[in-house]
Each structure stands twice: as C-alpha cells, then as structure tokens.
Structure 1
Amino acid sequence: MTTEAQPDKLLLLDGNSLAFRAFFALHNSLDRFTNSQGLHTNAIYTFSNMLDSLLAAEQPTHVLVAFDAGKTTFRTEMFPDYKGNRSKTPTEFAEQLPYINQLLDAYGLTHYQLPNYEADDIIGTLAQAAADKMPVTVVTGDRDLTQLTTANTTVKVTIKGVNELETYTPEHVREKLGIDPEQIVDLKGLMGDTSDNYPGVTKVGEKTALKLLKQYGSIAGLYEHVAEMKPSKLKENLINDQQAALMSQTLARINTTAPLTIDLAATNRRPVDQTALIAFYQEMDFKSKLAKMDLGDLADENEADAAETPIKLVELTRSNLASALAKQQPRAFDLDILGDNYHVDTPVGFALGTPQQWYYSDDLSLLQEPALSQWLADENQLKYVFDSKKTDVLLARLDLRIAGMSFDLLLVSYLLNTFDNSNDLGVIAHLHGYAGVQTDLDVYGKGTKRAIPTDYAVLGEHLSRKAQAIYQLQAQLTEQLRANDQDQLYDEIEAPLALVLAQMELAGITVDSQRLKAMQQDFSKTLTEIEALIYQDAGHEFNINSPKQLGVVLFEELKLPVIKKNKTGYSTSVEVLEQLQKSHPIIERILTYRQISKLQSTYINGLLKVIHPDHKVHTRYLQTLTQTGRLSSVDPNLQNIPVRLPEGRKIRQAFVPSHPDWEIFSSDYSQVELRVLAHVSGDQNMQAAFKNGLDIHANTAMKIFGLTDPSQVTPDMRRQAKATNFGIVYGISDYGLAKNIGISRPQAAAFIAAYFEQYPDVQAYIKDIVATARQQGYVETIMHRRRYLPDINAKNFNLRSFAERTAMNTPIQGSAADIIKVAMINMQQRLTQEHLQAKMLLQVHDELIFEAPTEEIPLLAKIVPQVMDSAVSLDVPLVVDSAHGATWYDAK
C-alpha cells in the first residue's frame, strides 16, 4: 500500500488480456496447478505474481482492473463477425476468472466491467478522465491500446509471458511505426485485424498502410485524394473497400467517453485484507505465498508486495569482508554479467549473503582477497547460486575456484518443468511465486541497449535481490524436487555435470584457422563452378539466392511442374526441390549450391569469427534448453556441423589437438536409442537381437521383407528398415514413412504392421506410455526426468497427436541423454583417478571427443568404452565404437 506523501498515479490493467496471458504463461504446467478441489490455478497464480511485480514497480495510488462484460458489445451490433473467429474460451481458464476477482478484492484493488463495452473502453475513458489529474500507466497484452498513448499516459504491452513489457510513449510509437498514436486507428482501418476479425482493405498489410498514412496522414485524407492515384490494383481495392476501411477504423477506435458508473475516486487503493488473502491462498493451495505471509512479508499494509519488502543492503569493502563471512552458514552468491556469453563478457558485480544481511560490490578485485577467495573454494561453505556452470567459468577466468555449490536455481527450476527454461533469474523467480526481484530486462535493458545502471545503488540492490531470490527459493524448490522423486537426478547427474561441462568449455578445442581459410577458398571455387553449370542449364545468369528469380527460371522458363505456391510466388524450398530432383539436372545443382553455400557462410565463416586468442573455440553447453534433456551447443554450435556431405565432413579437419604429438580420440554409442527402447519396452525379440550382437536394422529388414537369411538383405532394404526402426520411436505414420523412404503408403503400412509383428511389446509400450501420459500429464525418463504434456488430452487433433508422439519419444531420447550425461561424469572422474593428461573436449549427441598424448591413446581406447558402456545397467548391452587420429575428421 502507498503513503499519503506519494504523488497520485493511476494504474489501469486490461484484465481479460493479462489473465489470458497469465493462463498461457503456465499452460504447460496446467496439471501441476490445481488445488485440492481440482480447480485449475495457473492463471490465478501467475496473475498474482504479475500484480506483485506491477504494484512494486509502478507504486500506484489508484488502480483499476477492467474486464469485458461479455461477447455482445456495440461493436458486435455494428459488425456481427467482430471477434467471431476466436476459438472457444478454454474451460480451464474460464473457471479461474471469478477467483481472480476474489484475489483483487483481497488486494484492495477495484475491478469493473460495463455491459455493451469492452475493457479497452473502460480503460480509455478513465485514462482520459485522469489526463489533467495524475500520470497514467496502462498494462495490456493488446497493442491496440497504444492509441491511448499521450504525454500523460504510458502504455506497457506484454511481449513475452506477463513480465516482459514494451513501454509505449508517443515517441516510441513514432520511432517504431513512423506515425502518431492517434493514427493507429487509421492503420487498423486500412490493414484490418485478423485477431479481432475485421477486414480492412483487401491486400493492404501493415507496410502498405503505413506508407499510405505517411503520404496522406489519415483515412480521410487518403480518400480525399484516392481519385488522383495512378491506376493500380491497390487503388481499385481502396475504392471498392472504402466502407470496410471506415467501419474497421470505427471498430478499432477505443471509446473514451463510455458511460461508466464509477469515477476516479473509486480506483483508490484500499488496504490489503490480510484475513481474506490468507484464506484465499489457503483455498488455492498457494503454499509459497502463505510461507511469505508467515514470514511477515505482508503483515504491514505498507508492504503489501514482496518486492517492496526492505532488505538490509551493505556495500562490501575490504574492511567489512571478515564480518560478511564470519559465520559458517549457507549463503547465496550471484556473479552477474550483462550478456549471455560468460566466456567473453565481463562481470558487472556480485552479491552474497543471507536473509539477515546482503552484501554487494562491483569491485571484482575483492574476489581475490584471501578471505573471499578461500570462502569460495571451501566446499564446506555451502553456496546457493543461479547458474553453477556460468559461475564456475566466470571465476575460473579470474583465476579463482569455487566449491560447495549445493543449490543451482536454474537447473532445479528446469528439472521441475522443462518449459521453465528462461536464463533470466527474475523471470524464473516470478514463475515460482517470488516477486521480490526484477528481471534483468527491466534493469539492464535488452540487446545492444543493455547497460549497467548509472546509479550504483540500483545495481547493488538488483544484485542483492537476485541473491535473495536464490536463497528464498532454495527450500521450496528443493522440496518440490524431492516430491517429484527428482532429487537424485539433480544430485547425481545435473549438478555434477554442470561442473564437468565447465571444465570442457574452459578447455575448448583448438581450430586450425589456416585450414579453414584454405577450405574457404576451395568452397568459393566450387560455388563458382556450380554457378556456371546452373547458368548454363538456365540459359542465362540470375540471382540463384533469390527465390523469386529462381521460381521464374524453374517454373516459367524451364516449365517444371509447380509443386507449391506461397504469398510471394513459387515456393523453391528444399522440400519442393527434392520432389523435383528427377525433373531436371539444374535441381541437383541448386541443392548442392545451397548446401555448400550454407557450409561456407554458417560454418567456415562462422567458426573463423569465434576463434579466441588461444586459437580455440569455447562453446557453451545449454543444460536447460531442450525438453528431452539433450545438451545444446552455442557460440559456436559444434553439434550441427553437417556430416552427410563430404564437404561438411571436411570441416572437422580443422579441429586439431592443442599440442604436438597429441591426437583426437572419439567414442560413440551405437544405436543407443533403440537399445533404450528394447529396455523400456521389454520386447524379447528386440532384446535378443542386441544380446546376440545382431545388426538390428538387418534383423528388422528380414521380418519386413519376409527373408530367412541375413545375406539376402540388400543395402536398400537395410536403409528402409533403419528408417522404420527410428521412425517408430518418433510415432511415424504410414504417410510419413512412405515419404521418408520413397515407397507407397500401403507398403509403408505393411512395413509398420510387420515391424509390430516382430516387436509386439514395442507396440504395447507405445500404447501404455500414451495412456500413462493422458492419466498423469507427463512422461519420465529412466532417471525420472519429467516432460509435461499439456496437450495430451487436447480436443484439437494436431495438438493431441503431437503430444502423443512426444510421449512416445521423450522417454527414449531423454533416457539416451541421461546415459551419456552419466558417462561424462564418470569419465571425468576416471581421467582424474588415472592422472591422465587427456581432456574431454566435446559432447556431440551420442559421441564424446577427447584430446590426448599419443602414448595415452591405447589406455583411452580401453577405459572410455569401459566407462561409457557401464554408465547405466540396461537389459541389453550398450556398445561403444572408438577411433582416433590427427584431427576430429580422422577420428571419425
């Protein structure tokens, strides 16, 4: 709540829009957010978090949350199809709206709806009423409200979830669109609105509409001069659709004189009703929010929001360093950077402490002080951090060591729900009901505009609040891990893996830039030669990279059959070209040209840009990105270097050991996903094939083609069987399989039927796992890694089918990811135990890459497969293939 001394300020919230955003922000966690009565609570929970953040940030004296009164308004009377294309409101969302009003009542905030009008009109009318009385902030998910922007009214629009907002002032509207706020209704009138389902002018999009408005100023000005325009399809459409444009303009205009039955006085904030709020949180089962109230965060009406709760902040100096670390107890520690790449970005500051006292500093030299460096390195001094891998790497760059990181907020949050994978601590904190910290976007800005706050106190408070958020969430999220039976997954796999990955990233892999530059020249020469052949086939030169020009050459000049058209003309996508491959020699050349051109620009040129001064590339492994638990490589991505083309494979020749007389060593799991499938399905036939060392693809081919001897299996048969084996894991249909391997749909259906006849328990597994997903809302890997599937019971066929395929595949692919992660942890321990100089450098899907002195290669060839094939115990053996050589290419 605010004090009388605070200047008046009105906060207007678009209730329907923000509640809907709140619902979908945690839609993937729908099944996790229900109370004991079965009421879905995800929208209520997120809306509550959003309120905490907005009230803390805006400090309003007056608040109103506006809601739509129903689907019938003066706009539907004017145009019955207004918003007529919108799908039915999900019942899981609709059931929560009355409770959001209860929440607002407990917060002491006014909510209001007006029959025959929309929330926009309520907001517009109140914003105008307050124009000469107090500043106004509007928060919405609908950009249409930016027309209300004035010198006195700021409109903030959600751009991601409910916490990432874009602030619109008249200047920002002009900068972004090149028009004034009052021209937005003219813009909408011309281009229409697919979301609200009103038409505008045929074939007029935003770009054309803005061009017309810059020339004529308004719809009225445009139609005054439309007769003077040169004859064109645009002029014809403008004349034919004039009434539609004027109607759309009217529909888009927010009514700022709606007959409200309330006034500004009714929007005064009232004291929080503590009793009602506690009862509400109890009914909703919001334990984390109740815990904060028990701690007194909401005990005083002037501290209604967690983000407003004062915290004890002290700037860390050499003189108070000893007292900051005096007592051995768990402390939160956060070391911050502005960007994402902690291998090159410089830290901006750090904070540490406990709820009793928070210390912050932007003086990184303090980290070198013995008291602090020893605390960091002491494994008995427990530390709660946001991202242990990032923290480890940043401190290593400062020649410091950290140990005792017992809680990693980023990793734990990801394990609880793989959809919650933001790298912004503020966003993650809000997802878990903690509103006492801003997002980095709010404090530092985004993109090239990221900057350290000029006010040092602002930076210090942000750093401290981030550390506080880590500390406050530790107990709550650790308990959730235990409840999900995922504490072992965190303690034994993800947490130790983060430190292994940090070592690998710091080690990097050496890249021979001269070899890359030589390839660059070779590729350029090859591209020139292919270009000449393409021009020869076409009969003239043209821009091969222009889809429009290429389409004209292929479909108008060479008269090839048109497969597909898009908005800009003929489609020349890879999919289309592959269907035309046998139609003309030019197609094969264009596909090759594109592949080599991509290799040149993305991989050769891209790698040359990211080589560090130590002649290495230091990729970052993202542990919390994928839904299956697979690692992702960025800056640069070393997992996606194409190896199907000979030219792509040659790029690996540039990856070399960091010392003379060393070699690159590679070990790769063989068919690990199929072995996991044999294990989880319990299929005896598949297990027997693996236990007997049979070629699983040849074995499947024999059944599909009705053969009795492995010698009868041709390479093409094996290829088709391989596609069937892996396709089944991904829930492939007969249509998809037919398309993949170039056979008829009935043949593909017969293949799948023969497959299930050979492996009946695989079919049973698929049915069972989908049924399990429908029942519990998620699937798990063998290590209890969860993936929630909110669409598994969706009425929409496409959404439901995708969720079903995901249910089939995630336990397989995710378990394969678990297996190699365990292997990496065990392998790092073994290298240390054996006192080897060898280093683990990369993980690429099911492959581990090392560098080692030549004399250590025989030992590696023994212990790496030994460690990898014993990573987990399956009902079938894990098989590892190894190789080594002077380069990564030679090791494959």
Structure 2
Amino acid sequence: MERLLILDGNSLMNRAFYAIPALNNSEGLNTNAIYGFINMLFKMKEELKPDYIVTTFDKKAPTFRHKEYKDYKAGRKKMPPELAEQFPVVKELLEKLAINIFEIEGFEADDLIGTLAYFSRDKGIEVYIITGDKDALQLADDNIKIVINKKGMTEKEIYDKDRMLSDYGVTPKQFIDVKGLMGDSSDNIPGVPGIGEKTALKLIKEYGSVENVLMNIENLSGKKMKENLIEYREQAVFSKKLATIITDVPIEIDLEAIKSKESFDVKAVRDTFQKLEFKSLISKLPMAEEDIKASIDVEYTIVDTLEDLQKLASSIKDTMHILFENENENVYSKSDIRKIYLNLKDKNYVIDYNKVFIENSEETIKILKTVLEDKNIEKIIHSAKIPYTILGKLGISLKGLIFDTKIAAYLIDPSKSEYDLKGLIGDILNIDISDEDELIKVKEVQCLKEIYKNLSEKIKSLNMEELFYTVEEPLIEVLSAMEKRGFKIDKVKLTELGEQFSEKIQQTQDEIYGISGEEFNISSPKQLGKILFEKLDLPVIKKTKTGYSTNAEVLEKLRDKHPIIDKITYFRQLTKLYSTYVEGLKNVIDVDDKIHSSFNQTVTTTGRLSSTEPNLQNIPIKHEMGREIRKVFVADDDESVILSGDYSQIELRVLAHIADDENLINAFKHHSDIHTKTASEVFNVPIEEVTPLMRSNAKAVNFGIVYGIGDFSLAQDLKITKSKAKEYIDTYFERYPNVKKYLEDIVVKAKEDKYVTTILNRRRYIPEINARNKMVASFGKRLAMNTPIQGSAADIIKLAMVKVYEKLREENLKSTIILQVHDELILNVYKDELDQVKELVKNEMENAIVLKVPLEVDINIGKTWYEAK
C-alpha cells in the first residue's frame, strides 16, 4: 500500500520552538524551530519511507470559523517574533527539498490536512499525519494514523481508530463531540462551563454524541451540570461545529505533484543548512554529483629528490597555494616540517621534505629560501603562523603572504570553536573530505584557491579589509617572532618560589586545621562541606546532588561569618598558583631555558589574543604571591632588560571616543586622573577631598559602566546598598550623558542588526540579545555595550604590536617583543638600545590610532617582568 506523509507545519514549528532550547546562527537568526521541524521531517521520511509528502500551513487571513464566531482563537498569545522569523526560512527549505506546501485563505491547516487525508484514504493510500495537536485525532481511521509528538520532538504516539477506542473509549468522530462539550481554551472554543475532559468523555461514551446528551439531560446526575447543559445547549452544538475539521476543502490534489522525490537540489539545501549552521543535518544529505567529482578528482606530483625540488622551485613565478604538514605543531622545539603541499596553476605537488632534507639539508633549505623568501611570489596559506615559526627555525623568513584563510574565517564569524580547512571546505564548497582519506592534504590544497576567493570577497563585503590587511595578517609574523624568541625563565628562582609556595600552603593548611579542630582534605568539597556546615554550623548557601556546595561564590557569601573562610580561599589560591604556575612552568621550559608560549588569534570572540602552553595572560596579580611568579620571567642576559609598555585606561578612552562624550573627552585631554575626577563628581566633593576609598569606588563605577554593570552588581562589588549603587550610576550618567546615550543606542542597534562592531569594524554577532530568556537577553545587552569597547581596545593593542615590530625591524634593532598581556606589551630590550626603544615603543603605541582623546602609555624597566610592572 502506498503511503502519504502530511506534516502539520504550524503545530510542529510551534512545538519545536518551545521544546528545543534557543538556537541561533552566527548572523543572529533564531533557528530552533527550523531545526526541530527539519529533523522531524528527516526522521519520519526515514522511518515511514512515504510515496507522497506534503506540508500544510495556516494563512494569516481569517477563516470561516472567525467569520462565524468573532472570538475564535481570541486571547491566543501572539506568535513571538523569534518564531515568526523562522517560518519563511522553513518554507524556503521545503521548496528546495521538493516538498509541496498547502495553504489557502479561509481555511486552517487542519482542514487541509483532513481533506488531503480523506482524499488519499479513498484512493487506497495509507496516511500518516505528523502533528503536535490533538485536534487531528478526530481524523484517525484504519488507514489514517495520527502521529502526536510528545516530550518536545523526541517522543511520539501513533493513533488509529483502534488506539482511540483503547485510550479514550470513544471513536475518532466522537472525539469532536468531546470537544463540543469540554471546549478548547487554546482555540477559545467555549464548550459548556463546568465540563472538563473527564466528564465529556464519560457523557459521550454513554450517549454517543452532543445531541444525544442534550436529549437526555433529565437522565443526568448533577444539578449544576444539568443547568449548564440547558443554558448552554446551543453553545455546545456550535462548539462541536467549530471543532469539526473540514474534509472537503475545494483544492486540487495532484498525486503526481506531491510524490516524495529523492532527487532535489542538494547543493541549495546544503547551502541553506550551512547558513543556518546545521552541521548534523548536512551529514544526512546525499552528496551532490558535483561534490563527488570534486572530492575524488585530484592528481598530484610527488617531489622527493633534490633535483625535482630545484626544478619545481625554478618554475614558480605565480601565486602559490601552500599547506604544511608538521609534527607537534603546539610544541615549539619539536615542531618540524614533514611535507609541503602546493597548488600552482591548478596543479598539485607534494614535497616530501624529510626525504629531500636527508639527501642534502643545506641545499634543500637554500632552494626553499629562493621561493619562500621571494615577496613577489604571492602565498595563500591556511594558518600561516605555524609555517612562519617552523620555517624561522630553519633560517627561512617567509615573505609574500597575501592571505591567511584561517584568520579570514575567524573575522567573518568569531564565534566558532574551530577553523580547520577541512571544515571550511565542507561549509563553503560543499565538499566532504574524510579524515581517513590519505589524500586529505592534496584535496585541501586544491580547494584552497576557491576558499580564498570566497573569504576574500566576504572580508570586502563586510568592510573588514583594513582590519584584515593592516592588523590581523601582519600580526601573524609578529606572533610567530614572539613564539620563536620566547621568554627566559630563571630556573633557580622558580625552584625557590616553589619552596616558598609549599611553605605557605603548609602553613595555611595548619591554620585551617587549627581553626576547625581536625585534619581533613581541604580540596575535597564533600569533606570541607561537612566541616563548614555541620561542625561549624555555618548557614547552608547552596546544595548540590552530592552534598554542600563550597564554590567561590558560596565562600564569598560566608566571608564575614567565620575566619576560616578567608583561610580556605587563600589556600585555594596558593594551591592553584603552585600547580599551574610553579609546577606547570617547570614542565614547559625548553632546552634554551625559555618558555615558548603559543599565541592564538582565532580563539576569543572579542578579538583579544590568547596564549596557551602555557597561558601567560592569566597569571593572577591581585595577590602578592601571584605577582611573585613574575619574578621568574627575566631578561635574556646581562646585556638586556625587560621593558613594559602599558596603555593607561585604554577602555575608558575608547568609551570616551565612541560615546563622543564631551566631559569624558575633556577629562582625558587635560590628563586628569579619571577615577579621582569621577569620584569628585559622583560624590560631590572637591577633587582635593577625594579619599582613596572614594577613588576606588569611582574606579569600580568607571569600569563597571564599560561592562554594562547594573545597580545590583555594583552594590555587591562595593558592598553598599542597591539604592546607593543606583545613585552612583545615575550621578555618573548625569555627568556623562553621552555615555548613557551610547549604551542605550548600542543595545537598540544590536537588537536590530544582531551584531556590533569595533572602531576598525571587527564584528561580533550577539544572538543572545533577542533571546526569550530574560537572563540570556540581559547578558546579550551587556555584550552589546562592552564588545565595541573591549574589541576596539584589542584592535588598538594589536595594531600597536604590528607598528612596534615593524619599527624595530626598520631601525635594525636587536630588541624584540616577547609577550602581550591585555593592554601591555613586554619587550626584551638591549641596554645599548634602551633609550631608542623606550621612545619608539611609547611613540608607536600612543600613535597606533587617532582617537578623540590621547592614548597614554606607561613605560617601566626592570631585570624581571615583576620589576618592569
């Protein structure tokens, strides 16, 4: 028997929207309903293998039911805009999947479903109706199955005539009578007051129909029910009529036109899935014919002799698309080239570097230098920092890089966790390259040209050319140079520091044992919980499945309740510092007594750099023991020192520029201490009467404003009342009205655009800002306020790094940048270049970009990072 699958579009979209947590693509489009609907469609197609398939939708125009009963569906909550925006997309997808859509003015989707179902049943076709609406149960028959989604989109129940009798004790047709008596609040069908589903089912089981119930009112028990049935008898009959699905809507049904088609525009569907970022659904699509050809049609030449390498090198005059295969890419000293993959004029080459190198290492490097150091030969590379670094170890200075596809992909969408080339090829070119494919790198390098074309056009269309070509791409070489140079470690001092930490940890542990009266594992939340909340009887703040919570938030709330709390907090800080930055650093010191951290451009959504193996940007400096760690980072030798160039209050200066606030701009132009000035204005005292506490509180307000802080959070930070915190913020905004206007305007703009930009047009998508969940939406608002400020500061420090690096090279100086931490540049400077470098760093950093306020940089010198800070 042939089979028809009918999808109740509105019902399934609505159910998916509320069942699946909020999903957004990087452009901010809500996608949870689309995802749930399409996933259900694929699942049901796979399970039922239908011969015919259609989807029905409601039209916005009133139906005949609205005309007969003006209150029909009155009071129903308006469709959320987050759901409404998904309907056009799902309809577009259905069209691309070659699935017919039925919708007609004057009738509901239910009526179309009923008409299609009866028509098909009468043609001897088995019908499956997929819906989340029990109204459709009245259509159940021997050959009409109603599939009701339950528990979101994951579980379902299938009803036919027998199942209806079994579960409800009434026939599908009698289910209409049940609705007539009980009504339906979702559709505003009135029914009879006082009669719910249980009573309605009982009455219809006994009397068979609404009409028969009304003819037997005198035989019923229950005075109030009898009175209501008499008073509302016409309403009961009318409600039944409203609840009845029409099965003869005047539509033409062409079975040939609604046949389930295995052949559809796979590429168009895949493109839409990629735009929606439905990776799991992409894998369920058949591979398009052109994809199959592209994924297997590769030819290449192996270059594994010195003679072949020389011949190839001498022939290269045009753009190179180049990939490097290397070992241990995150371990500087062990990272070496294995193979080099080239695409030149649509021809692929695989250079077996190891084999050629063994044949003649000096000549191999010499040949590679002629090509890789030729700036006139343009290079397009994916993730160029790695080859910059490993080639640098061979004495090869890579030149001529015109495009790094990894950096470009990151700028276009900074929210992704990965930017691997294989993934980009799948997303952009619809080509699936298997991880097990031995030709994976050949295929990747062959596709690199098209990836470059696509990404370069997007960079241009998003107005990111300045950001990409003058900041991010030149920065690759700077970061590589920093990684190669490394930061010298005083191993003797590190050992001494480890001993100091061990003593402090032991001392603090003993103090905790003394206070608690017994020894226990302080690092065990379970044991610590028993001490705090049972033995010491402290108030329980939060419980978990395994017992008491003893996290940092809980300890903070208990600080004033018992002296043991500060000791535990200090113990945790010490043990973390010891394991991460004492023992941890010992494990990553290289043979040259340096740490070669990896600097990453494609990790943070704000544009800030990050460092790994180890992370040198997270060394805590709020406590003296944390600052002590900086003492082990030292200058290269006795002939050099550490120089720190630190931007002063850069985020507040960026805020003044973006908000164009005259008072804030003037404060910076007159080189005022911004925190003291703010304190004077917020607390309404003369500047000379501002106390250190006032300044500290004003500083919290200044930086809190940048992060979109509210009165509740500020009150917690400053340990003051919420009303006092609100007073501080209100006073601040009175003094700096354009700051307030900027914060309000940027939120409105972010809601419309679903993204915000920095001064240099770095883009960050903020789908959270339109979330239904208030906490998520509030988080989105804070992101909208802060990202243009924090992101612009990140852009400026990156631009400064590039300018300082280029100036050092231009003046042939030996001094080099070795680290960047937030708003600070760290250099190893030779003493005979110190005056020149101090001036150079200050000048390049302060003039990296022109703002409405001056940028100021503090320069500090020392033998160690600690002294230079």
Q: TM-score, normalised by structure 1?
A: 0.68
Distance in 2 between the 1:113 and 1:513 partners? 78
Q: Once the two structures are superposed, what CA deviation does each residue of 1:601-622 show, in whole Å capped at 9, x if it has no partner?
A: 1111111100011110011111
The residue aligned with 2:553 is 575
Taking structure 1 as reference, are residues 744 and 888 closer, same or farther at Cα in structure 2, changes over 3 Å only?
same
From 12, 26, 31, give the equivalent of 1:29.
26
Taking structure 1 as reference, are residues 322 and 144 closer, same or farther at Cα in structure 2, changes over 3 Å only?
farther
Distance in 2 between the 1:332 and 1:41 partners? 41
Residue type at the aligned position of 1:426: K
Q: Once the two structures are superposed, what CA deviation does each residue of 1:20-65 show, in whole Å capped at 9, x if it has no partner?
A: 9xx99993323589xxxxx999979x99xxx9xxxxxxxxx99979
Within 5 Å, which residues of 2 pair with 1:770-789? 770-789=747-766
- Residue aligned with 2:578, SS: helix
Q: Once the two structures are superposed, what CA deviation does each residue of 1:782-824 show, in whole Å capped at 9, x if it has no partner?
A: 1111111123223322222211111111110011111111111
Taking structure 1 as reference, are residues 301 and 787 closer, same or farther at Cα in structure 2, changes over 3 Å only?
closer
The residue aligned with 1:240 is none
Taking structure 1 as reference, are residues 305 and 554 closer, same or farther at Cα in structure 2, changes over 3 Å only?
same
The residue aligned with 1:363 is 353
The residue aligned with 1:378 is 374
Q: Once the two structures are superposed, what CA deviation does each residue of 1:702-760 show, in whole Å capped at 9, x if it has no partner?
A: 111111x2121111111111111111111111101001111000000101100101100
The residue aligned with 2:442 is 464
- Residue aligned with 2:512, SS: helix
Residue type at the aligned position of 2:850: S
Taking structure 1 as reference, are residues 508 and 63 closer, same or farther at Cα in structure 2, changes over 3 Å only?
farther
Within 5 Å, which residues of 2 pair with 1:236-251? none
Instruction: Give 1:580 deviation, angstroms.
Output: 1.7
Distance in 2 between the 1:602 and 1:365 partners? 40
Distance in 2 between the 1:828 and 1:67 partners? 66
Instruction: Give 1:484 deviation, angstroms.
Output: 1.0
Residue type at the aligned position of 1:790: P
The residue aligned with 2:563 is 585
CA contact 1:620–1:633 (8 Å) conserved in 2: yes
Residue type at the aligned position of 2:457: E
Instruction: Give 1:411 deviation, angstroms.
Output: 0.4
- Residue aligned with 2:573, SS: helix
Instruction: Give 1:842 deviation, angstroms.
Output: 0.4
The residue aligned with 1:872 is 849
CA contact 2:291–2:431 (8 Å) conserved in 1: no
Distance in 2 between the 1:890 and 1:826 partners? 25
Instruction: Give 1:477 deviation, angstroms.
Output: 1.1
Residue type at the aligned position of 1:468: Q
CA contact 1:69–1:118 (8 Å) conserved in 2: no
Instruction: Give 1:549 deviation, angstroms.
Output: 1.0
Distance in 1 between the 2:52 and 2:711 partners? 48
1:823 equivalenced with 2:800 (yes/no) = yes
Residue type at the aligned position of 2:295: E
CA contact 2:29–2:767 (8 Å) conserved in 1: no
From 671, 676, 692, give the equivalent of 1:715.
692
Larger radius of gyration: 2
Residue type at the aligned position of 1:538: S
The residue aligned with 2:295 is 308
Instruction: Give 1:582 deviation, angstroms.
Output: 2.0
Taking structure 1 as reference, are residues 280 and 389 closer, same or farther at Cα in structure 2, changes over 3 Å only?
closer
CA contact 2:606–2:791 (8 Å) conserved in 1: yes
- Residue aligned with 1:791, SS: helix
The residue aligned with 2:715 is 738
Taking structure 1 as reference, are residues 712 and 89 closer, same or farther at Cα in structure 2, changes over 3 Å only?
closer
Q: TM-score, normalised by structure 2?
A: 0.70
Taking structure 1 as reference, are residues 63 and 830 closer, same or farther at Cα in structure 2, changes over 3 Å only?
farther
CA contact 1:68–1:113 (8 Å) conserved in 2: no
Distance in 1 between the 2:604 and 2:540 partners? 37
CA contact 1:63–1:269 (8 Å) conserved in 2: no
Distance in 2 between the 1:782 and 1:510 partners? 35
Q: Once the two structures are superposed, what CA deviation does each residue of 1:416-447 show, in whole Å capped at 9, x if it has no partner?
A: 11113514221233333442534xxx34xxxx
The residue aligned with 1:531 is 509
Taking structure 1 as reference, are residues 639 and 278 closer, same or farther at Cα in structure 2, changes over 3 Å only?
closer
From 814, 824, 829, give the equivalent of 1:847.
824
The residue aligned with 2:426 is 430
Distance in 1 between the 2:335 and 2:290 partners? 37
The residue aligned with 1:412 is 408
1:115 equivalenced with 2:111 (yes/no) = no
Q: Once the two structures are superposed, what CA deviation does each residue of 1:830-852 show, in whole Å capped at 9, x if it has no partner?
A: 21222222111100100011112
Decide which moves more: 683-692 or 319-328: 319-328
Number of matched pairs: 661
Residue type at the aligned position of 2:353: D
- Residue aligned with 2:556, SS: helix
Within 5 Å, which residues of 2 pair with 1:666-677? 666-677=644-655
Instruction: Give 1:592 deviation, angstroms.
Output: 1.0
1:765 equivalenced with 2:755 (yes/no) = no
From 649, 654, 660, give the equivalent of 2:627.
649
CA contact 2:365–2:396 (8 Å) conserved in 1: no
The residue aligned with 1:350 is 340
Within 5 Å, which residues of 2 pair with 1:285-324? 303-305=290-292, 307-318=294-305, 319-321=307-309, 324=312
CA contact 1:699–1:710 (8 Å) conserved in 2: yes
Taking structure 1 as reference, are residues 284 and 399 closer, same or farther at Cα in structure 2, changes over 3 Å only?
closer
Residue type at the aligned position of 2:570: T
Distance in 2 between the 1:724 and 1:67 partners? 64
Distance in 1 between the 2:373 and 2:677 partners? 54
Q: Once the two structures are superposed, what CA deviation does each residue of 1:508-558 show, in whole Å capped at 9, x if it has no partner?
A: 011111211111111111111111111110111111111111111111111
The residue aligned with 2:638 is 660
The residue aligned with 2:674 is 696
1:329 equivalenced with 2:318 (yes/no) = yes
Within 5 Å, which residues of 2 pair with 1:58-207? 90-93=83-86, 95-105=88-98, 115=128
Instruction: Give 1:857 deviation, angstroms.
Output: 2.1
Q: Once the two structures are superposed, what CA deviation does each residue of 1:260-319 show, in whole Å capped at 9, x if it has no partner?
A: xxxxxxx9996x56xx67888999999xxxxxxxxxxxxx98545365351222222335
Residue type at the aligned position of 1:404: G
Report sequence identity in percent.
37
Q: Once the two structures are superposed, what CA deviation does each residue of 1:591-637 show, in whole Å capped at 9, x if it has no partner?
A: 11111111101111111100011110011111011111100011110
Distance in 2 between the 1:665 and 1:113 partners? 80
CA contact 1:779–1:788 (8 Å) conserved in 2: yes
CA contact 1:40–1:95 (8 Å) conserved in 2: no
Distance in 1 between the 2:590 and 2:759 partners? 39
Structure 1 unpaired stretches of 5+: 1-14, 34-38, 52-60, 72-86, 107-111, 120-140, 146-266, 287-299, 444-457
CA contact 1:41–1:284 (8 Å) conserved in 2: no
From 516, 532, 544, give the equivalent of 2:522.
544
Residue type at the aligned position of 1:115: Y
Taking structure 1 as reference, are residues 278 and 433 closer, same or farther at Cα in structure 2, changes over 3 Å only?
closer
Structure 2 unpaired stretches of 5+: 1-8, 57-79, 100-124, 133-151, 157-258, 276-286, 358-363
Q: Once the two structures are superposed, what CA deviation does each residue of 1:111-145 show, in whole Å capped at 9, x if it has no partner?
A: x99737899xxxxxxxxxxxxxxxxxxxxx99999
Instruction: Give 1:387 deviation, angstroms.
Output: 0.8
Taking structure 1 as reference, are residues 775 and 574 closer, same or farther at Cα in structure 2, changes over 3 Å only?
same
Q: Once the two structures are superposed, what CA deviation does each residue of 1:361-390 show, in whole Å capped at 9, x if it has no partner?
A: 443354725444311111111111101111
Distance in 2 between the 1:651 and 1:465 partners? 47
